Chains A and B, each alone.
Chain A
Amino acid sequence: AQSVAQPEDQVNVAEGNPLTVKCTYSVSGNPYLFWYVQYPNRGLQFLLKYITGDNLVKGSYGFEAEFNKSQTSFHLKKPSALVSDSALYFCAVRDNTGKLIFGQGTTLQVKP
């Protein structure tokens, strides 16, 4: 069965430091992977996706993610965190019916 795991409920990082939000997946066939961000009292916003091609995907707001097939991971990264990056982040994988399976979400807290 297809699934997504975000092993950390919360990630804390100091402003200016690099950040990583982890995601691992399980899916049959080639994965389609997505990252979304949710700010308080807002809907989810698309950040980036991996469909095929280069394993390093660049997205909105300076975020990027690295697809690692051998480790079945798709970690979200940013070289220098901003306080305004503080939000809830969701990883998702497309299942074989076209739906997105979302992880439980990781709260990112960036402190000044």
Chain B
Amino acid sequence: DAGVIQSPRHEVTEMGQEVTLRCKPISGHNSLFWYRQTMMRGLELLIYFNNNVPIDDSGMPEDRFSAKMPNASFSTLKIQPSEPRDSAVYFCASRTSEPNEQFFGPGTRLTVL
């Protein structure tokens, strides 16, 4: 299995631009998680889906952030408009049923200038 796949691996953009991060979970996994990691705030859960349905989006910072999971094999995290404080590494993770562990992707390093 290829593991969780994220694209792009690196993204540099200018303030105000739209950014879309993509994730392909491991086949057969039915839960998907989006995290953000920064030095200041550590690892934060943004949103998670179960069977393609958003279960908890309480970690989404503000309306500029949105996430979708149109099918079991694809999810996007969109930031519009982006701001410099959004600069971070964004991770996607997937899992089968509980209480199994989550498998993390390699992350997308986002830099907003």
Enumerate chain A residues within 8 angstroms of B103, measured Cβ to Cβ. Answer: 46
Enumerate chain A residues within 8 angstroms of B48, measured Cβ to Cβ. Answer: 98-99
Cβ B99 vs Cβ A97 within 8 A: no
Instruction: With both chains docked as a complex, state the minimum distance between the C-beta of A27 and any C-beta of chain B, in angstroms.
Output: 13
In chain A, residues 25-71, which have Cβ atoms closer than 8 Å to a Cβ of chain B? 32, 34, 36, 42-46, 49, 51
Cβ A100 vs Cβ B102 within 8 A: yes
A42 CA / B98 CA spacing, docked (Å): 24
CB closest residue in chain A, given B41: A104
A102 CA / B91 CA spacing, docked (Å): 14
How many pairs of A and B residues are in contact by the CB < 8 Å rule? 46
A97 CA / B48 CA spacing, docked (Å): 11
Taking residues whose C-beta sits less than 8 angstroms from the other chain, chain B's interface range is: 20 to 34
Question: Number of A residues whose C-beta is below 8 Å from B?
Answer: 19
CB within 8 Å for A43 and B45 given contacts A51-B99, A97-B56, A98-B98: no
Instruction: With both chains docked as a complex, state the minimum distance between the C-beta of A55 and any C-beta of chain B, in angstroms.
Output: 17
Q: Is A94 an interface residue (CB 8 A)?
A: yes
Cβ B107 vs Cβ A43 within 8 A: yes
Q: Is B25 an interface residue (CB 8 A)?
A: no
A34: contacting residue among B45, B55, B101, CB under 8 A: B101
Cβ B99 vs Cβ A105 within 8 A: no
